[in-house]
Amino acid sequence: MNIRPIHTKCRNCGRPIFLVKTTKGKTLPCDRAEKMFVISASHSGRFVTQSGEVYTGTLATDGDKDFDRMAGWPCHNDTCPKRGAKK
């Protein structure tokens, strides 16, 4: 892995997350479970790869071709059940 994630918890929902520094120097909170995804123009979610690249995509399904799939951590801002909640 080329990046060093910091383990912490989400301030809103309390789930364990990584804080991942991207190749552009931005820090993104990511879910800890790596998922397979396919790049998509529709904004279903952002994924951070092990090299720190950020892609917009959707979770891979059985119908997706293997060469279209990539592995990455989903951005927690897109998956948090309490997204936008005020403390």
pLDDT digits (tens, 9 = 90+) for 34-85: 999 998 877 689 999 989 999 999 888 877 777 778 999 999 999 999 876 6
Assigned token pair, 34? 């790596």
User: Please, which residues bridge with residue 19 across strands?
Assistant: 6, 29
Q: What is the pTM of this model?
A: 0.81
pLDDT of residue 31: 95
Question: Domain limits of the chain?
Answer: 6-79
Strand partners, 6: 19
